Amino acid sequence: MMHIMSEKGAAGGGLRERKKRATRAALAEAAVRLAAEHGAEKVTVEAISAAAGVSVRTFFNYFDTRDDAFVVIDADAGARIRRAVLDAPAALSPLEALHGAMAAELAETEQQHELWRLHAQVLRASPHLLVRSLGAHMADETALAEVIAARIRSGGRPVSESAPGSESAPGSESAPGSESAPGSDEERREALDLYPRLLAAVASTAVRTSVEHWCARQEEAAFLDVFREVFALLAAGLPAPHA
């Protein structure tokens, strides 16, 4: 049971942490594989737990809901994207920086054909799970918005940012100066609060739409090309195409 693990992400120090990550990954992988074979709705928590070599109760110790096991495949992808946004060249606009960061992440994810493929297949088979997947992305959205806000405030200069991906102390995300910056102009402050939110949300939507479009016309075009096209449309202000 759960011998070989990807050892992905930060190879944690403690043995305890490693085991926790291992069981979590084992559960998620078992869930996806079983769902790909028998259909997501026919896979019980008992089956997943058995395949991962743990008890049913332990499953619910790691996931709040049965569906979460199918959805949360890479827990710290969001952290990598945030780091990439902060490290992006100052010359890039926020939209371009986001595009680059997400494209890089998606390119990496695409390389692990096997599981990613199965995962997409499972989500496609039951739209119910696609929604939850989107919800998982939404959780990262506010954190991403704060990073975007920080980048804008700093004028694009690389932000040192204290411990970007560390989940060691959950609870208070301690974003850099989230409530200071009393703008002189009321409208500007309003915009500065609204813009990062909107940008983060739209970027998530861009990912989802690209995936959907790519799934519909599969193999007809490279995924990253679709993704690029989407960001081009966004940057152009979504102009009306001529029929």
| Tokens, residue 214 | 């790519």
Of positions 75, 134, 143, 224, contacts a copy of itself by CB under 8 A: 134
Of positions 36, 48, 123, 206, contacts a copy of itself by CB under 8 A: 206
Distance CA 165, CA 176 (A): 14
Distance CA 214, CA 190 (A): 36
Q: Which is nearer to DNA, 92 or 134 (CB)?
A: 134
Q: Do 196 and 148 contact (CB within 8 A), yes or no? A: yes
- Contacts to DNA from residues 28-67, by CB under 7 A: 44-46, 53-58, 60-62, 64-67
Work out whether 167 is an interface residue with DNA (CB under 7 A).
no
Long-range Cβ contacts of 92-95 (<8 Å, 24+ apart)? 92/156, 94/148, 94/151, 94/152, 94/195, 94/196, 94/199, 95/199, 95/231, 95/234, 95/235
Q: Which is nearer to a copy of itself, 14 or 241 (CB)?
A: 241
Q: Which residues bind DNA (CB under 7 A)?
A: 14-16, 19-20, 23, 44-46, 53-58, 60-62, 64-67
Q: Which residues bind a copy of itself (CB under 8 A)?
A: 93-95, 127, 130-132, 134-135, 138-139, 152-155, 178, 188, 190-195, 197-199, 201-202, 204-206, 208-209, 212-213, 216-217, 220-221, 226, 229-230, 233-241, 243
